[in-house]
Structure 1
Amino acid sequence: MPTISEAEFGDLLRTFQRESLHLETRDAYGTETELPYMAKWANGEPDDLAWLADWCSTLRSYIAAGATVRRARIVSEPLSAYQRWSHSIAHPMVDAGEDIRWVPRRLVSSIGIPGNDFYLLDRRLVIFLLYTGDGLNAQFLTSTDPSDVELCRSAFEAVWKVAIPHGDYQPV
C-alpha cells in the first residue's frame, strides 16, 4: 500500500465529493494538535474550542454541498481520559454537520473490523491510519483495492448499526 505524508492526508480529506466515513478504534490518541488542548482540559482550564473552527467550517461546506460525514468511535467503558475529553469537545463538529456516534466496545465483539483506524472516501479510497503504542500517528497508507474498500465499508456499516448518536451517548 502506498504511504502518504500528513500534508497529503490533509489534502485527500478535502477531496471527497459525497461521503466520508471514519472509524476510530483506539481509546487514546496523541496528535500534536490535540495534546495541548487535552492538557488544558485535564487541568480544568477553559477552552473556547477556536482551534476547531477551521475544521467545522470545512464540515459545513461539505454538508452544504450535500456530502455526508460520519464518524464512529469504538470505545472501552469506562471511557479513557482521552475519550472523555473527546466527548466533551465533539459538539461543535456535530453542530457543523458531522454525525459522530459512540460504540461501546462490548457491542462490536462479533463484528469483523480492519486492524487500523481508517477513512473511506466516496467508497473508492481507504486511508488507513497507523499509530504508535502511545497513540501518536506513525503512518498513513492508502488503498483503492476493491477488497479493502469493501472490507472497510462493510465493517463501518456493521459498527454504525449499533452506534449511539453523540447527543444520546452518556459517557460511562
Structure 2
Amino acid sequence: MPQTAPPFAELLANCRHSAVHLEMRDHYDDPDEAPRVAAWKAGYRPDPEDRATWWRPWLDMVAESVDRGVEFRRARIVSEPVSKYTRYLYDGSFANIAAGERIRWLPRRRASDLCLPGNDFWVFDGQLVRFGHFSGEGAYLGDEIEDAPDVVKLCSSAFEAVWDRAVPHSAYTI
C-alpha cells in the first residue's frame, strides 16, 4: 500500500547504487523555481563557467551521491514542439549534468507504444518508487512511496524502455 514519502534528502541518503527519474509533464509549477523561470523568460542565461550563479543545494545532493557511487539517470518524455518550460529545462540541464546526472529526452510521439505509469517517479536502487503527484496546472501536490515488487518492476521496466529509446542530452536539439 502506498505511503507518504519521507523527505527526498533522506531517500537519497539511503540510496547506494542508482536513482532514476522519469518526467512526463510539459510543465511544472514549482514556486521555488518561479524566480529562475521568470529570469530565463526575460533572457537571463547562467554562465556555465560561473558556478556560484547556478549551483544549488539540489546539485550538491546529486554530486555527493554520485561521488559515493550512485548512478543518476533522468529521462524526460516531451511533446514537440516543446513547451517554453521544456526549453527552460533543456537550457538548464548543463547544471544537472555537471553534478553527475545523465539525461535523455524522448519525444512523446515515440512513447505511444510504451507501458508507462500514470505519474512521474523516482526508483531508488531498484527497490523503492517515489511517485510525484501534480495538479493539471503542474502544481506539486505531494509524493508517495511504494515498495511492492510489481510496482517497482513496472516503474523500473518503464524507465528502461524510455531510456533505451531516448536521445542523450548532447544529441537532442529543440
Tell me if TM exceeds 0.5: yes
Contact 1:124-1:144 at 8 Å conserved across structures: yes
Deviation per residue, 1:105-137 (Å, 9 max, x gap): 011110000000000001111000000111011
| Structure 2 partner of 1:141 | 144
C-alpha displacement of 1:26? 0.3
Contact 2:133-2:143 at 8 Å conserved across structures: yes
Letter in 2 for 1:111: L
Cα distance in 2 for residues equivalent to 1:55 and 1:139? 18
Letter in 2 for 1:31: D
Residue 167 of structure 2 corresponds to residue 170 of structure 1: no
Contact 2:19-2:72 at 8 Å conserved across structures: yes
1:103 corresponds, among 90, 103, 106, to 106
Partner SS state of residue 123, structure 1? coil
Q: How do 1:81-92 residues align onto structure 2 when only pairs under 5 Å count?
A: 81-92=84-95
Cα distance in 1 for residues equivalent to 2:135 and 2:9? 20
Cα distance in 2 for residues equivalent to 1:45 and 1:71? 25
Contact 2:22-2:159 at 8 Å conserved across structures: yes
Partner SS state of residue 89, structure 1? helix
Residue 61 of structure 2 corresponds to residue 54 of structure 1: no
Gapped runs of 5+ residues in structure 2? none
How many percent of aligned residue pairs carry the same amino acid?
40
C-alpha displacement of 1:54? 2.4
Cα distance in 2 for residues equivalent to 1:72 and 1:59? 16
Deviation per residue, 1:20-74 (Å, 9 max, x gap): 0100000000112211100111111344573543222222222222210000000
| Structure 2 partner of 1:45 | 44
- The verdict on how the C-alpha distance between 1:160 and 1:46 changes in structure 2, with shifts beyond 3 A counting, is closer
C-alpha displacement of 1:148? 0.6
Cα distance in 2 for residues equivalent to 1:87 and 1:14? 27
| Structure 2 partner of 1:11 | 10
Residue 158 of structure 2 corresponds to residue 159 of structure 1: no
Q: How many residues align?
A: 169
Deviation per residue, 1:72-94 (Å, 9 max, x gap): 00000011010000000110211
TM-score (norm 1): 0.92
C-alpha displacement of 1:4? 3.1
Residue 83 of structure 2 corresponds to residue 77 of structure 1: no
Cα distance in 2 for residues equivalent to 1:141 and 1:57? 24
Instruction: Give me the CA root mean square deviation.
Output: 1.5
Partner SS state of residue 140, structure 1? strand
- The verdict on how the C-alpha distance between 1:158 and 1:121 changes in structure 2, with shifts beyond 3 A counting, is same
Partner SS state of residue 167, structure 1? helix
C-alpha displacement of 1:161? 0.6
